[in-house]
Amino acid sequence: MATITVERSFWQALPKPKAESGFWSWVTTVDHKRIGILYFWTSIVFFLIGGVEALLMRLQLAGPNQTIIGPDLFNQLFTMHATTMIFLAIMPLTASFFNYFIPLLIGARDVAFPKLNAFSYWMFLLGGIFLNSSWFLGGPSDAGWFGYPNYSLKEYNPGLGVDFWIIGLLLTGIGTLVSGFNFIVTILNMRAPGMSLMRLPMFAWTTMVTSFLIVFSFPVITVALLLSLFDRLFGTLLFDIFAGSDLTVYHHLFWVFGHPEVYIIVLPAMGIVSEILPVFSRKPLFGYSVMVFSTMLIGFVGFGVWSHHLFTVGMGPVVNTVFALATMIIAVPTGIKMFNWIGTLYGGRIRFTAAMMYALGFLALFLIGGLTGVMLSAAPSNAQIHHTYFVVGHFHYVMIGGALFSLIAAIHYWGPKMFGRMLDERLGKIGFWTLFVGFNMTFFPMNILGVLGMPRRIYTYAAGMGFETWNAISTVGALIMGLSILITLYNLLTSLRRGEPAPADPWDGRTLEWTIPSPVPEYNFARIPHVSSRDELWVRKHPQLAHGAVAETAAAEEAPEEAIVMPGGSYMPLLVALGLFVGSYGLLYYMPVFWGGIAVSLLGLVGWALEGDNLRIVRPGGSH
Amino acid sequence: MSQASVTAAGRLAGHGEAAHAHHHPTSLGIPNQKLATWLFIASESMFFASLITTYMVFRYRSVVGPHPDEVVNIPLTTVSTFILLMSSLTMALGVSAAHRGEMRAVGKYLALTILGGLGFLVIQFYEWWHLAHDFGLTWRTNIFGSVFYILTGFHKAHVIFGMLWLSVIAISSFRGTLRKEHAVNVDVAGLYWHFVDVVWIVIFTLVFLLTEAGV
Ligand SMILES: [Cu+2]
């Protein structure tokens, strides 16, 4: 056999990034851990922006007849607050943990498609910048996070705000969709030997089901957004009621996405809690297989309940009843999970670390979110409270009490692995209690206000209707929440500099990420682990539990590899994303720029396919 | 840290993008690209299902004509459908050539496939021109026009994207840089092309045949 002929085409001859540290190494990285860290800090910045927007609204609502913020700005604030928190803060923060921990939890060296992974991040960042740049380019959308036509049409909403909102969501949506494909393939196809599906950590299961929800629901909102964008930009008549349109088509398309979106946010939170509770109870997760199947059931039924957002559009009693019942059924698998978590705690030796306290906070607050959800699912009572603060209270118990509490739990639990430093436990606990108190002060009064009849999305209210006290309490609570977030941020930033160096296994953990050093080396595992148990590390630490299985698999593991081939960086993911980003401005201002952007993206795609692998060899173990 | 760039893929435990030079067993035994393409197709199915549903709801809601039953042209569309289906046949032949390792033949079959796509597009764009010119139907005429042009337009965009994708593979086949280990790349491009055809069959049935049948 002849030697390998190295044919270098034009594309393969293009310069490849070589930097291992500094700015360009981050811009061109395809390492899942670095991408996870980029997601982490970017989402925190957007989270702070969304938080300031929320505080401004709470200040305006602190008392009756206030004029701190006028109605126009108020409408923009609630639109951008919701959009930012959902798409730019919570989802990417979960994506940060998907990125950093899914390969570690399943015993892999990276995700299935590292370059696509980088592309997902750039689409998120640039889409977020595009969306928020509308603050400086004539003002953002004020049409709500749902963007219903016909209020969102050009006729009633001139200016570019809604266009920025639609295109911004399309851009981040591309990134989300791509990461959905990536994580399903990673979890199904990149598992270490012995890591059968029923040995996957729960967080990997919830990530996979979440990714399936993304794959099936994001194309639907894409269609809804594109149709209203065509109406706005090109004068089509899809949502023109005078041309015979039916606006509920948009409503249905939006909520076919919108309801699964709730589970896209909450399922990863459930996965995080399912990782943390066993560790700090020193017990295996109770009812693992039931947890897996209830996760799938939630994902599956979650696609059949969307019309509970449309009980009052006149679908008729039969349809309303069907969707009300389907919605109530979701309480069954969710309730099963709740009892499994309680079962995990039962009889355990519980350690009240900050991470554990946030996870327990999740249990209590998500329960309230779930129960108020069941109250809303009954169509008759829904008709009374659906446009009131009751709904605002309900979904914040799900989004904050559910998702945010578990994400902050994850910061305390996984932060040491990501950053190599322990967070301060005392500050963590102070952060927990302030958030817990502030959160309940902010949002429990909203449930009461809703029943009293205070409508949502109204910039002020008259005195003497019984709204003053509850609103004042709510605003004070919101300020306490803001304080708590600052404490957590201070803890994070100072711990990164001065915190104690984190050992490999600071929490006496149970899963594979704790078998490797903190922070994790570039190649993750010097040798690919062989897995013999659901709680692999726990069984390794307590071999008497394994009945000899560990000895077998340990013998099967290879010696540490001397040279590991890792993918090197690439300019192409950023180039493709930049083309779409710049092109999007062109679509709104100057069409040639649009076509130029598309051309850059297509060239980037060709380069992506043909540039070849920028492989590099990493040698674990000293001989640098 | 010492590092070197290498020209041939080495031992990269389970690496998708890098693995096409050297196939690593995946947990499910399906190549990563193939699994991802199936997921992409699942997602695209939801995309077209949403668009087609919107079409079905809106098609007869226009307050002014022309209405669907006044404009559909079955014979012309049947011809273009036939051409597109034949391009699926040549695509399948290209995939089978790739599996046999005849990488030069792949390019020929893909060129025929691209030609089929082109034929389909020419007829379809002619039909657009015909609708606009002879019936005065544009996407701003009425709601049927809007939803008809958007649905068929997105399908055309998918055909064009597929043609670009196949061109990249065909060119590397003609240049001799397409090697046996790239067969899976031909495979997934084929999956996409067949999917675009299947979508057209659904559109042809719902938008054209049903209208002709008066449903
Ligand atoms: Cu819902």
- The 3 state secondary structure assigned to chain B is CCCCECCCCCCCCCCCHHHHHCCCCCCCCCCHHHHHHHHHHHHHHHHHHHHHHHHHHHCCCCCCCCCHHHHCCHHHHHHHHHHHHHHHHHHHHHHHHHHHCCHHHHHHHHHHHHHHHHHHHHHHHHHHHHHHHHCCCCCCCCHHHHHHHHHHHHHHHHHHHHHHHHHHHHHHHHCCCCCHHHHHHHHHHHHHHHHHHHHHHHHHHHHHHHHHCCC
Q: Which of B32, B40, B50 sits opposite A253 (nearest CB)?
A: B50
Place of tokens 């809303």: A376
What type of residue is A564? I
Q: With 60 as the cut, is the pLDDT of residue A3 above it?
A: no
Q: Is B171 on the interface with A (CB under 8 A)?
A: no
DSSP A88: I
Inter-chain contact B54–A237, Cβ cutoff 8 Å?
A: no
- State the pLDDT at residue A16: 77
Assigned token pair, A425: 């436990």
Confidence class for position A248, pLDDT limits 50, 70, 90: very high
Contact partners, residue A384, CB within 8 Å, separation at least 6: none
Burial B175-202 (b: 16+ CB within 10 A, else e): eeebeeebbbbbbbbbbbbbbbbebbee
- The DSSP secondary structure of A568-611, one letter per residue, reads ---SHHHHHHHHHHHHHHHHHH-HHHHHHHHHHHHHHHHHHHHS
To which H or E segment does residue A447 belong? helix A425-452
Residues of A with CB below 8 A from B11's CB?
Answer: 561, 563-565
Distance CA A68, CA A71 (A): 10
Exposure on the CB side of residue A170, measured as CA atoms within 13 A: 18
What type of residue is B99? H
Distance CA A387, CA A312 (A): 10
Mutation target for B interface from A117, A179, A237, A619: give the one with most B CBs within 10 A: A237
Q: Which of A189, A602, A613 sits opposite B9 (nearest CB)?
A: A613
Assigned token pair, A374: 């069941």
Q: How many residues would you count in chain A? A: 624
- State the pLDDT at residue B24: 61
Are A397 and A369 in contact by the 8 Å Cβ rule? The answer is yes
What pTM did the predictor assign? Answer: 0.94
Domain boundaries, chain B: 72-215
Distance CA A57, CA A55 (A): 5
Q: Is B75 on the interface with A (CB under 8 A)?
A: no
Inter-chain contact B11–A618, Cβ cutoff 8 Å?
A: no
Residues of A with CB below 8 A from B149's CB?
Answer: 236
Residues of B with CB below 8 A from A614's CB?
Answer: 5
Q: Which residues of chain B have pLDDT under 70?
A: 1-24
Q: What is the ipTM of this complex?
A: 0.93
Q: How many residues would you count in chain B? A: 215
Confidence class for position A24, pLDDT limits 50, 70, 90: confident
Inter-chain contact A238–B7, Cβ cutoff 8 Å?
A: no
Mutation target for A interface from B20, B27, B47: give the one with most A CBs within 10 A: B27
Say how many Å lie between the CA of residue A351 and the centre of ligand 1: 35
Inter-chain contact A617–B4, Cβ cutoff 8 Å?
A: yes
Give per-residue pLDDT as tens, A352-377: 999 999 999 999 999 999 999 999 99
Residues of B with CB below 8 A from A256's CB?
Answer: 50
CATH code for residues B72-215: 1.20.120.80
Exposure on the CB side of residue A379, measured as CA atoms within 13 A: 21
Give per-residue pLDDT as tens, A172-188: 999 999 999 999 999 99
Q: Which of A110, A218, A246 sits opposite B15 (nearest CB)?
A: A110
Residues of B with CB below 8 A from A110's CB?
Answer: 15
Q: Is B41 on the interface with A (CB under 8 A)?
A: no
C-alpha angle A421-A423-A426 in degrees, rounded to nearest 5: 150
Distance CA A577, CA A173 (A): 12
- State the pLDDT at residue A345: 96
CA distances from B76 to A187, B122, B162 (A): 47, 11, 23
Residues of B with CB below 8 A from A208's CB?
Answer: none
Quick one: what percent of chain A has pLDDT higher than 90? 84
Establish, for the pair of chains A and B, how many residue pairs have beta carbons separated by less than 8 Å: 187
Give per-residue pLDDT as tens, A294-334: 999 999 999 999 999 999 998 999 999 999 999 999 999 99
Are A285 and A348 in contact by the 8 Å Cβ rule? The answer is no
Nearest CA in chain B to A620: B1
Are B103 and B178 in contact by the 8 Å Cβ rule? The answer is yes
Determine the structural domain holding residue A602 and report its residue range.
Answer: 1-30+570-624
Distance CA A413, CA A403 (A): 15
C-alpha angle B176-B83-B54 in degrees, rounded to nearest 5: 110
- State the pLDDT at residue B4: 34
For the residues A446-458, what does the mean pLDDT come to? 95
Confidence class for position A12, pLDDT limits 50, 70, 90: confident
Q: Does any domain span residue A42?
A: no
Averaged pLDDT of chain A: 92
Distance CA A601, CA A604 (A): 5
CA distances from A377 to A148, A295, A301, B50 (A): 22, 20, 14, 25
